[in-house]
Amino acid sequence: MATYGLIDYDDASPEVRAVYDDIRAVRQTDYINNFWKALAHDPPTLRRTWESIKQIMAPGALDPLTKEMIYIAVSTTNQCGYCIASHTASAQQKGMTPEMFAELMAVVGMANETNRLATGWQVEIDERYRK
């Protein structure tokens, strides 16, 4: 199921349970997905990763659904099957419609295409875009 297996709530140390409890509270669900159960073998990384995600994915200048779609864009570009599956589920739960998903994929595909056209044709950055 994972390199060192998955740690369920009942088998978790108090340190790990505290993170699981916070995930449940913030996400308003009892479900802890496999990613966290695998990372639980490394409590400092479990905590740091969760705290970072909690901070980053919170509403701000961008809304949570937009952030989930950006997550899917990155995960698709990197070909990460786990992340595509889990973040597609999260995005759907936050209101992503099939139409939004379809447009998201179209942009992701196109960007991956033009990234290579720009680099392969060795296009120099325009003076006006330089920093």
Binding of a second copy by 30 (CB under 8 A):
no
Report, in Å, the least distance between residue 59 CB and a second copy. 10
- Give the chain's radius of gyration (CA, Å): 18
Three-state DSSP state, 43: helix
Which of the stretches 7-15, 18-26, 49-57 binds a second copy when contact is defined by CB under 8 A?
Answer: 49-57
Q: Which residue has the tokens 């936050």?
A: 94
Q: Does residue 126 interact with a second copy by CB under 8 A?
A: yes
116 lies in the binding site for a second copy (CB under 8 A) = yes
How far, in Å, are 8, 52, 101 from residue 24 at the CA level? Answer: 13, 16, 26
Taking the complex as a whole, the smallest distance from the CB of residue 63 to a second copy amounts, in Å, to 10
Residue 41 makes CB contacts below 8 A (sequence gap 6+) with 4, 5, 7
d(CA 72, CA 80): 9
Does position 33 bind a second copy by CB under 8 A?
A: yes
Nearer Cβ to a second copy (25/117)? 117
| Interface with a second copy, residue 11, by CB under 8 A | no
Q: What's the closest the beta carbon of residue 81 comes to a second copy, in angstroms?
A: 7
Q: What residue has token string 């949570």? A: 64
| Site for a second copy, residues 55 to 94, rule: CB under 8 A | 55-57, 60-62, 66-67, 69-86, 88-89
Residue 125 CA to residue 123 CA, distance in Å, equals 7
